[in-house]
Each structure stands twice: as structure tokens, then as C-alpha cells.
Amino acid sequence: MTEYLEPSDAGRDDSNVPPVPTPNNVEVKRPSWADPPPEPVRPAVRWREILSILALVVLADITIFRATGYAGGAVSLLAAPLLLLIGSPAPKFSITLSGLGVMAGVTAARLVWQGSISSAFAGFLVVAAFAMALSGRAPFVLELLGYVGKSWIDTFDGLGHYDKWLRQRFRFFPKVFSLQWILPLIAVLVFSGLFVAANPDLASQVKQTLTRLLNDLGGWLENFSTSPPEVVFCIAVGWCLVGMLRPADWSQEPDPFASPPEKIEITEAAAAQNSSMFSACRNTVMAVSVLFAAYLVFEFQTLWFRKFPKGFHYSGYAHEGAFWLTVALGLATVVLSMIFRGSTLQDPRLPSLRRWTWLWSVENFVLALAVYNRILIYVGFNGMTRMRVVAFLGISSVVVGFLLVLWKIAHNRGFLWLLRRQILTVTLAAYLYVVTPVDWLVYTYNVRRILSGDPAPAVQITEHEVSPEGLLTLPPLMYASDPIIRDGIRSMLTDRAQALADQLATNSNAGWTAYQMVNARLAQRLSQFPDETNPKVSAAKRQADWTRFREYVYQWY
């Protein structure tokens, strides 16, 4: 029977302890507390990993750095998950990974339709989250930011594996190409470039010398040499990809969201102890429950099921008031998070506190309905706007956050469990706003209201910048029954049609990466109304119509 060897303790003398015999008479080294931890098992390097990284670098160079618009980024966003999947040395498949792949496709469609900086940044985060989930990690927001930052350091470890793989596979590989020579050379070149850039005269001389040398290598190298930042961009992309595909820590669960979440275990011995804060917490919940009940009665009496008189303070009640009620809901979420923690969870009187909590929770959901009602009151007054979409998403995020707190209370989850999901909820709400055609939805609703005889939403056209996807919905207003609205919209669309023609010509010269589907659709749409958007109408007449339209609808602002 083999003897079990305990690791030696600090201060224990192991010098006189004989080695443990084994069946094969092999001497076994006793484990010690001072021994370094074992190296994690690393997946083998394969050609597909190297080729995928090179393909991603080339793709990013062509479709992002050399591009002049967002369509190129959309191509990279579609191809990146597939190439990462092919190149991953040890892929971990999960439902999360599939969901992120769908999000990448949705974001790419948004970039082709009407791209923006925010949608491009969202695409980068989706790709990074895909790479993180591919390695078996849960892509919560804070962990994702740490994963991206850590990838720049993990690249050193990854490059070491590539160097070892090259040595084993190509024994004739010249030593001059070893990392022990390449990394110092790269460091010297980078710092030399910084020192040269710090001296303008020297930088000018070096640039002239390099230009003369590279001009002899042909047109492609000549064009390449005129953009030194492109080299830095490609190196940075490749460096980050190596760290993402080969993180230093591989000990992660295969499906991060399928693993048991953090849970606080309550023992019988601990549950027999009374918490010094229990009475204060219970009285707090009781007091706010009574307060919320009284306020909800007032809310229903003043703002529900009534017709608002002329001069009603819509902004104060439906705009500022909705904000403060949302803050109240968020504060309720924080209060519950603070109460149900620590020694309070071990108190034997906890069931009574839970009962009062469920009552307060019902009141919070009724208060959330009151916030939705206030926002709808404002929408009913003068239509939809982008910020009202943000308001709906914001209160919805607060409601989801409150539900998460209730789940935490009911299942004894830890604070880290709650924090991760709260941040993820807000991030997903922001992502939803970025990829949704908000202007198209907003102005589709407003146009329908105007055509049905309610001119108030027209003020959102004059007081807010309308994007191309919003302009797509406005042509029906050129036939509105109100002549002021009709003439104002015609003057607006005529001016935008001329600006759009110039932009399309510029994008055509810039290449396919500048393509935006919404611009092409808008140009096609406006071309169907040659008489209504006639540029021969004098600029003075168009400006007068627009000014009259703006002054007319401002009464509903």
C-alpha cells in the first residue's frame, strides 16, 4: 500500500527523511510548500492558428486601416469570429459563444446600414467577448476589459510557444530569427523611432532617407512606406490576437454560464446568531413600504386616467419627474443589496424580513409602471425622440436590476454575482440602443401621428438632427394636409438631397468600404419625388418655408 505524502510544513527538516520506495525502485521527490506551482497544460501550436492570425491582421489592415467608412469594418466583424474559431488552439463551445456570433452579425448589419463610432466600438467588444468565451471564460463586462488589457501581456507567453514550435518543427531554422534576437531588435526599433520622432530635424532626415530607399522597391512599397502608422497598427492587431488566442490561464470551465453561480452558504450554527443590524434593516423596509404605498396613491390620483389641461407642465412631470422616480428605483435596488448581506443572512428572523421585502418589491414594480406612464405621457404630448428611447431602456435596465436583486435575496447569491449581472444588463441595453435603427423607429411613429392630424410631433423634426434613416420616413409628409408642414418638409428634403448627392459622389471615389446602405436607399427614395424636391426652387424660398415651419411647430416644444 502506497503511503500518502503530506507536503512539508514551514520549518520542518526534510533532509534526513529517506525517499519513499516505489514498485520500480524509482526515487520520488517529496512535495514541498516551497515548490513552484506546476505549469498549466498548454494546447499545441498548429498551422491553422498561425494562418488565422495572419489572415486577421491582413483583413484588419485592408478593411479598417485602409478603409474610409464602416462597410469595411462590417466585413472584418463577420469574418473575425470564424477566423478566431478556426485559429483557437483549444476552443470551448457554449450557448454564450453562439449568442455572441449572432451579435457580431447584427452589429455588422448595423455598420453596413448606418455606421457610427459607437457601433464600431460595440463590434470590437463583441469580437473580444467572442474570443474570451472561446477560451472558456465568462465574458462579463469588467472581466472582459481585464481580458483585453491582459492579452497584451499574455502575448509574451504566446510568442514563446510559437518560437519553441518553430524550433521543433524546423531544426534548420536560423538562430537569427529566434525571439531572443527578434524581440530586442523590435524594442530597439520602437524606441529608436520614438527618439527620432522627438527631434523634428532628425525625423525629417530619416524620413527622406527611408523614402529614397523604399521608392526603389516599387509602387506598392512606396505607398506602404508613406504610412508608418499602418505598420504599427498591424503589429498591434497581431500582438493583441496572440494574447487573446493564448491566454496565460487556461483553467476555466467549458461553459461559463452553465457553472454554479456564487452562492452564500448558511450553516445551522451561524443561523442561530442574531444580527445587530437586523432590527434596523427590518424597520427600514417597513418604513419605506408604508411611504411607497402612500406615494403610489398620490401618483394614481394625479397622473393616471385623467385628461391634462392646457399649460400642463409636461417637462417637469414626465421628463424630470420620471428621472427622479427612476433614481428612487435604483436607490431601492442599492438598499436591498446592502440589507441582504453579511450577518443579516444568518439571522433566524430572516423570513419576516423577506416578507416585508416582497411587499416593498411589489410596490417598486408599481412605481416602475408609474415611470413608464410618465414617459408615455410625454410621448403622447409631442412624439418620440432618441432620449425617450434611452429613457425606456434605462427604466427597463433598472427593473431588470431589481429582479436580479430579488433573485439574489431568494437564492443567497453573493455580491460579485449581482455586480457582474448588473453591469452586463446596462451594457446589453447600451448595445441594443447602438444596433437598433432608433431614428427610423422614432420618426416612423412621429410621421404616423402627424398624418393622422396631430401636428405636435413635427417639432422633433426641427429641434433635433435627423439622420439618413430618419429622413427615409419623412417623404409622406410632403403631402400632409397642413401647408406649413408640407412646404417645410419639402424644403428640408430638397436641401438634404443635394447634400446627399455630394456625399455619395465622395463615397464612390473613396471605395466600397465607404458604402452605407441607408444613403443609397435614401437617394433612391428621394429620386421618386422630382417635383417635390426640385432644386430649381430658390434657396431664399426654401429657407423662408423652413423658418416658417420651425416657428409654427415650436409651440409644442
pLDDT at 357 over 80: yes
Q: Is there a domain that residue 516 lies in?
A: yes
Tell me the range of 184-188, 253-257, 287-291 where mean pLDDT is highest: 287-291
Residues 465 and 498 reside in one and the same domain: yes
Confidence of residue 1 (pLDDT cuts 50, 70, 90): very low
Cell digits of residue 14: 526534510
- Final residue before a domain boundary, out of 372, 405, 436: 436
221 membership: H or E segment, kind and range: helix 219-225
Span 540-554, mean pLDDT?
A: 91
pLDDT of residue 2: 40
Q: Average the pLDDT over each of 1-15, 132-146, 207-221, 395-409 and give the range with the smallest value.
A: 1-15
Total residues belonging to the chain = 557
Q: Is there a domain that residue 310 lies in?
A: yes
Residues 527 and 419 reside in one and the same domain: no
Cα-Cα-Cα-Cα torsion 297, 301, 306, 308, nearest 10 degrees, comes to: -120
**Backbone phi, then psi, for 90, in 5-degree steps?**
-150, 75
Q: Is there a domain that residue 499 lies in?
A: yes
Residues 418 and 455 reside in one and the same domain: no
DSSP string, 361-425: HHHHHHHHHHHHHHHHHHHHHH---HHHHHHHHHHHHHHHHHHHHHHHHHHTB-HHHHHHHHHHH
Summarize pLDDT for 513-523 with one digit per residue, the tens: 889 999 999 99
Residues 232 and 87 reside in one and the same domain: yes
Span 407-433, mean pLDDT?
A: 86
pLDDT of residue 194: 64
End-to-end CA distance of the chain: give it in Å, rounded: 88
Q: Is there a domain that residue 403 lies in?
A: yes
Residues 279 and 189 reside in one and the same domain: no
pLDDT of residue 168: 67
Cell digits of residue 176: 537569427
Residues 444 and 407 reside in one and the same domain: no
User: What distance lies between CA 296 and its chain's CA centroid?
Assistant: 36
Span 374-378, mean pLDDT?
A: 85
Tell me the range of 22-31, 89-98, 174-183, 316-325 where mean pLDDT is highest: 89-98
pLDDT of residue 197: 67
Q: Is there a domain that residue 15 lies in?
A: no
Q: Average the pLDDT over each of 135-149, 166-180, 409-423 and give the range with the smallest value.
A: 166-180
Confidence of residue 340 (pLDDT cuts 50, 70, 90): confident
pLDDT of residue 450: 94
Q: Is there a domain that residue 1 lies in?
A: no
pLDDT at 7 over 50: no
Domain that residue 306 falls in: 268-436
pLDDT of residue 28: 47
Span 315-342, mean pLDDT?
A: 76
Span 433-450, mean pLDDT?
A: 95
Residues sharing a CB contact under 8 Å with residue 78, sequence separation 6 or more, in sequence order: 104, 105, 108
Confidence of residue 66 (pLDDT cuts 50, 70, 90): confident
Span 130-139, mean pLDDT?
A: 88
Q: Average the pLDDT over each of 152-161, 171-180, 291-300, 383-392 and give the range with the smallest value.
A: 171-180
Confidence of residue 222 (pLDDT cuts 50, 70, 90): very low
State the angle between helix axes of 350-382 and 321-339 in degrees (0 to 180), rounded to the nearest 10.
160
Residues 174 and 80 reside in one and the same domain: yes
- Final residue before a domain boundary, out of 245, 279, 297: 245
**Predicted TM-score (pTM) above 0.85:** no
Span 267-292, mean pLDDT?
A: 72
Residues 464 and 355 reside in one and the same domain: no
Strand partners, 263: 413
Nearest to 67, CA basis, from 113, 102, 115, 109: 115
In terms of Cβ atoms closer than 10 Å to its own Cβ (0-12, 13-18, 19+), residue 373 is middle
**Average pLDDT over the chain, rounded to an integer:** 78
pLDDT of residue 473: 94
pLDDT at 53 over 50: yes
Q: How many domains, in total, are found in the chain?
A: 3
Q: Is there a domain that residue 32 lies in?
A: no
Residues 60 and 195 reside in one and the same domain: yes
Residues 178 and 278 reside in one and the same domain: no
Span 396-404, mean pLDDT?
A: 89
**Backbone phi, then psi, for 46, in 5-degree steps?**
-130, 165
Per-residue b/e over 139-149, b at no fewer than 16 CB within 10 Å? bbbebbeebbe
pLDDT of residue 356: 87
pLDDT at 211 over 60: yes
Confidence of residue 19 (pLDDT cuts 50, 70, 90): low
Residues 55 and 181 reside in one and the same domain: yes
Alpha helical stretches, state H, 275-318: 278-303, 314
Residues 288 and 421 reside in one and the same domain: yes
Q: Is there a domain that residue 469 lies in?
A: yes
